[in-house]
Structure formats: C-alpha cells, structure tokens
C-alpha cells in the first residue's frame, strides 16, 4: 500500500548535536525556518537520560515541523553560562532567532508532547497518531493485514512506539501466527513488555492459545444443563465462545460462575475476565459494560 503520510520519516538532521561555535547556525539561523528545541545535558546527568530520548521521540513524531539540538554542557560551559543554565536538563525553544519557551528538569511524556505542539501550533493529532488511529480502525474492521502494514510504517518512523508494537503482535494473533507473536512479545525489553498495548497483545495471545484447546460448545452446554454448578464446563464454554468471537456470551459464563461462587478455583473466573479486559482494552464498549457488571456483583 502507499505510505500514509509521506514516507513516515523525519528529516535526517531533525535531531543533531552542536557546540558553541555552531550554535548560531544550528539554532539562531535554523529557527528562522522552523522552531528549534535546545537540550542542555551532560553524560553524568540521570534525568537527562530520561528526558533526552523522550524529547527526541516527540520531535521525530512531528515529522520535521520542529528540530532538536543537543548541547553537552561539560564541553560548552561558556555557552551554558551565556544562557544562564544553572541546572540540567534544561530545555529552550527558539523561534525566529529568539528563545520563546523552555523548562528545567525531566517532564512526563504527555507534557513533552504538549511542549512540542505549542511550538508547532499543532493542537491536532500528529501524523503518527493519525496512522495509529487508521490502524486501529482497520483492526476493528477485521483487516489484520492492513492494520499490520500501517503499524509497520509507524515503526519505521518510531521503532519504540509501544502502540504499534502491541498492534503488530495483535495482528499476528488475529492471523493465527501464535508462535511468531509469542516470540515477538517474549523478545521485547522488560520496560516495553510493561506497556499497556503490549500487555493487551499478550492477553490476546493467551486467549488465542487457550482457544486451541477449547472443547465443543454444544457438548459443554449440555454438561451445564445437566449440572449448572459445573464451573469447569462454564470456563471451557467461555473459552469456546471466545474462539467463535461470541464475546458477550463468553463474559456471561464467567460472570455466572462469579455470581454462584466467586472464590471457585482461586477466583479463576474473575482472573479470566481480567484477561479478556486486557485483551480488548479499557475503552472497548464490552470491557466497560462488563466491568460495571462485575463491580456490581462483587460489591453488592
């Protein structure tokens, strides 16, 4: 398919290093064309190691609408003194040759994103965010290959984008490539495995693996009709229903177990419900409705 937004890549020099001699050209002159963010850092600065990569990520996602210049204060002490940098990380934003904004210390990713958006005057979604939304819609429509193609474009621009990584793994699960999905997820760094999108993909993988062992739904239903307290059959029936994408019916079976005996098998039904919620995501309509039903049942 055609690239969604150009080639989904920022200009090669969107992030660069400079020094006292190059500051005028790399910052003052360059900011006449696009805003330039200056990051004063040092190798020994702990917060700099967190802020720097997050700032680079936000700048690259802007697709060239803003640039970033890094200045090592240990090697450029005179320049740092001229700009009255007293502690690091210190960040300045330049437009038309003049400093217009800035902050000191590490910020959460959401505030970094807002900082960049203020400079570009862009209050709407970034190109990558637009692509992620299109991928999500494709996945919801059942077009896993289209979704994976878009997620792949995002990862070429932003290799550490957790939403795209999780979405790609979800696509593998949807296409039945469970071994490949397992290898992909298990091979991620621990920090990436903790991301919500990756956890959602892992939950979807676990459900798909369970579905491979699902019994016959009709036989399981017959067992339940003979003995409504056959909770093992209800658990297996929920798995079988999920394999058929009969999500609401699968939830009903788990909630019925909880209604009858919430402690059965060390709360297995509740734990399975939470796995479903993780796989579907917190904003899914059935997740929201089922959480409400579960809370009502547990706290009534």
The catalytic position among 15, 30, 36, 48 is 48
Kindly provide the b/e burial profile for residues 195-209, where b requires at least 16 CB atoms within 10 angstroms of the residue's own CB: bebbbbbbbbbbbbe
Phi and psi (nearest 5°) for 15? -125, 125
C-alpha to C-alpha distance for 51 and 106, rounded to whole angstroms: 5
Q: Domain 217-299 falls in which CATH fold?
A: 1.25.40
- Domain extents for the chain? 15-120, 127-197, 217-299
Q: Which helix (H) or strand (E) is 72 found in, with range?
A: strand 67-72
Q: What is the pLDDT of residue 253?
A: 97
10-41 pLDDT, tens digit per residue, is 556 789 999 999 999 999 999 999 999 999 99
C-alpha to C-alpha distance for 269 and 237, rounded to whole angstroms: 12
Q: Cα–Cα distances in Å, from 9 out to 17, 37, 56, 57?
A: 19, 19, 13, 12
Dihedral sign from CA coordinates of 240, 286, 275, 300: negative
Q: Which helix (H) or strand (E) is 268 found in, with range?
A: helix 264-280
Q: Which pair of tokens denotes residue 27?
A: 């910052």
Q: Which pair of tokens denotes residue 240?
A: 């079988």
* Terminal CA-CA length for the chain: 52
pTM of full prediction above 0.95: no
Q: What is the pLDDT of residue 13?
A: 76
Q: Which pair of tokens denotes residue 52?
A: 């720097």
Same topology between domain 15-120 and domain 217-299: no
Known catalytic residue at 67: no
Superfamily for 127-197? Answer: Tetratricopeptide repeat domain (1.25.40.10)
Q: What is the pLDDT of residue 60?
A: 84
199-222 pLDDT, tens digit per residue, is 999 999 999 999 888 889 999 999
Q: What is the pLDDT of residue 7?
A: 47
83-105 pLDDT, tens digit per residue, is 999 899 999 999 999 999 999 99
Q: What is the pLDDT of residue 124?
A: 60
C-alpha to C-alpha distance for 203 and 246, rounded to whole angstroms: 17
Using left for φ > 0, alpha for ψ between -120 and 50, and beta otherwise, residue 288 falls in alpha
Q: What stretches in the chain show pLDDT beneath 50?
A: 5-8, 123
The catalytic position among 15, 27, 37, 45 is 45
What angle do helix axes 264-280 and 196-211 make, rounded to 10 degrees?
120
Superfamily for 15-120? Answer: Glutaredoxin (3.40.30.10)
Known catalytic residue at 45: yes
């Amino acid at each position: 398919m055609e690239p969604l937004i150009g080639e989904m890549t920022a200009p090669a020099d969107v992030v660069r290093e400079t020094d006292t001699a190059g500051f005028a050209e790399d910052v003052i002159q360059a900011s006449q064309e696009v805003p330039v963010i200056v990051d004063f850092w040092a190798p020994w600065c702990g917060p700099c190691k967190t802020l720097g990569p997050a700032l680079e990520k936000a700048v690259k996602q802007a697709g060239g609408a803003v640039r970033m210049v890094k200045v090592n204060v240990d090697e450029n002490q005179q320049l740092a003194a001229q700009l009255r940098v007293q502690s690091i990380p210190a960040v300045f934003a330049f437009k038309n040759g003049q400093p217009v904004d800035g902050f000191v210390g590490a910020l959460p990713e959401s505030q970094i994103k807002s900082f960049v958006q203020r400079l570009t005057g862009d209050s709407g979604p970034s190109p990558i965010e637009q692509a992620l939304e299109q991928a999500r819609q494709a996945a919801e429509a059942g077009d896993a290959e289209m979704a994976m193609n878009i997620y792949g474009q995002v990862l070429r621009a932003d290799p550490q984008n957790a939403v795209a990584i999780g979405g790609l793994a979800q696509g593998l699960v949807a296409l039945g490539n469970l071994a490949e999905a397992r290898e992909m997820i298990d091979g991620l760094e621990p920090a990436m495995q903790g991301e919500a999108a990756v956890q959602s993909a892992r939950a979807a993988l676990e459900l798909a693996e369970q579905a491979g062992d699902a019994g016959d739904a009709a036989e399981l239903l017959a067992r339940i009709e003979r003995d409504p307290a056959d909770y093992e059959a209800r658990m297996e029936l929920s798995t079988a229903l999920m394999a058929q994408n009969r999500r609401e019916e699968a939830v009903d079976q788990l909630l019925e177990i909880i209604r009858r005996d919430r402690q059965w098998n060390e709360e297995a039904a509740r734990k399975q419900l939470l796995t479903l919620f993780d796989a579907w995501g917190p904003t899914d309509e059935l997740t929201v409705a089922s959480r409400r039903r579960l809370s009502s049942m547990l706290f009534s």
